[in-house]
Amino acid sequence: MRNDIFYKFLSFLSVTSILLLMQSCSKDGFLNVTPKDKLTDNTFWKTEQDADLALTGLYNNWDKYNNILYMDLITDNGYCQFPWEGGFTMMGNGSLNASNYGTQYFDYNNIRKYNNFLEKIEQIEMDAGKKSIYKAEARFLRAYDYFRKVQFYENIPLVVNTISNPLEAQLAPDPKSKIVDFILNELEEISNILPVANTIESRGHVSSGVALALKARLELYEKMYEEARADAKKVMQMPVYELFPDFRGLFLEENEGRNKESILSIIYIEDTYKNDLWQRILPAKEGGYSSISAVQSIVDAFEMKNGAAIDEPASGYNADKPFEGRDPRLDMTILHPGLWFNSRYFSSLDEGSPDYFQIAAAPRSGYNVLKYSKIVPSSLYNNGGNDIIVIRLAEVLLTFAEAAIESNNINAEVYEAINRVRRRVGMPDVDQSKYNSQAMLRELIRRERRVELAFEGLRYFDIKRWDIGAQVLDGPLYGSRFGSVDPLTGNITWADGRIKLEDRNFFPDRKYLLPIPQSELDANPNITQNLGY
């Protein structure tokens, strides 16, 4: 039973959100200066219960599931057929600009909430240890917000105090290096304050492992390989985490109470703090919109069951039986033609089929996504309680391995970290005679990250740090081959050609950054637009 403070006070979210909204809303400038009405601060922040309520409010909307699953749709993993769903279609094909910028990550509303909490909680008399932990949680949420901002915009204002004067809000951006140093220092400090606990034990609160895992992720992104390796290893050695034995079940709501692999999740609760994930991800026949679709490139990335890539000689790959003998994660990640699903063979290639790719709510690519997919009654389409994993142990293992490979610290621990991830799904251990050099291991670890973490929001940042955008984000984007699925056997008769989704454009001068919204530029003359927009 979820019965800790976080869940006890979820019933008060509407009240808390109103209180915090009163503190954060302003039309005076992009950094959301203090409102002129001080009634809230004069009547709130008196008791420990106020601190409980305010902390709960910080966890409300600190992140959303679409920032995880939809992020892969702007990469060579996926496609969003509906431009109005967060603008991820435009973010993928490169057509975005300052007025049509896709999803907004530049906003400072949450930053102000975190700063306000850290200042106001000081005036509450409560247990010192508890107060320190509450502050550490708020500091993590702030660091996580800056982590995302620095990935998408790089040079941004670093604001760690609430601002009361509109003119003070018109700050010049700080260099990326300063933001990164701030995030890393914050995460290091709070990792020594927060308890060691998995998501089952922490019941929605962040923990020491969360701080170190995010720190290792950022260090990997910044090519701080020795530091990333060390921090990842600290998380790996925490006794509270373990790989969940069932890869498909790892992402299903019914296993949340026993899933010790999740390090950080966005918590959703039916009726109370719900999401519409299932309606977005399910096929049309099951009442979904197929908003989150896979593309051919990610299908091709999965190895054969024998550990060979499909383009390797003697791999055993058969282009006319493309889904046979593959890495088991393929059938647990992507709903492809001919796969048995909900008492039928999925058929997105045949006219007359409810899955046909040209139907409005069917996957335009011919491929749905299976991660998080679950057959649910229509009453739950927009009332889902499935938590969304943000960081998990498998990512940390692969971070450790990649950091060791890039720093040329290749030893048995590296192979074992990768093998632990592969063994979970029955894939063979890494062939050390084949993958015996930094170059070969780099190829392997990049493929392993891609297939293991597909549709978990990391692919874009991997492409960015490896700087492979010109190779994978430019040109035509394809879905499945044309063909026909036998409804009795699932066998596929393939035809010539394949589904073309769109032409994508990669602009190297943008350096993988998003455009700063025009409204933010208008509000602060000290901010300049990112290159290429």
Residue-range domain boundaries for the chain: 277-386+474-504, 390-459
* pLDDT per residue as tens, the chain (533 positions): 333 333 333 333 333 333 333 333 333 333 444 444 443 566 799 999 999 999 999 999 899 999 999 999 999 999 999 999 999 999 999 999 999 999 999 999 999 999 999 999 999 999 999 999 999 999 999 999 999 999 999 999 999 999 887 777 889 999 999 999 999 999 999 999 999 999 999 988 999 999 999 999 999 999 999 999 999 999 999 999 999 999 999 999 999 999 999 999 999 999 999 999 999 999 999 999 999 999 999 999 999 999 999 999 999 999 999 999 999 999 999 999 999 999 999 999 999 999 999 999 999 999 999 999 999 999 999 999 999 999 999 999 999 999 999 999 999 999 999 999 999 999 999 999 999 999 999 999 999 999 999 999 999 999 999 999 999 999 999 999 999 999 999 999 999 999 999 999 999 999 999 999 999 999 999 999 999 99
- Which residue is listed with tokens 């990792």? 191
C-beta contacts of 433-442 below 8 A and 24+ residues apart: 438/405, 438/406, 438/408, 438/410, 441/405, 441/410, 441/414, 442/402, 442/405, 442/406
Beta carbons within 10 angstroms of residue 243's beta carbon: 18
Of 287, 171, 209, 86, residue with least CA distance to 528: 171
For the chain, the farthest-separated pair of C-alpha atoms sits apart, in whole angstroms, at 73
DSSP string, 412-443: HHHHHHHHHHHHTTTPPPP-TTTS-SHHHHHH
Among residues 77, 56, 22, 13, the alpha carbon closest in space to that of 294 is found at 77
If you ran DSSP here, which 8-state letter would residue 287 be given? Answer: T
pTM metric for this prediction: 0.91
Structure tokens at 319: 């282009």
Distance CA 30, CA 523 (A): 6
Q: Nearest Cα to 384, choosing from 271, 275, 506, 523?
A: 275
Tell me the C-alpha distance between 489 and 340, whole Å.
10
Q: Which of 399, 379, 74, 358 is nearest to 209 (CA)?
A: 399
DSSP 3-state of 219: helix
CATH architecture label of 390-459: Alpha Horseshoe (1.25)
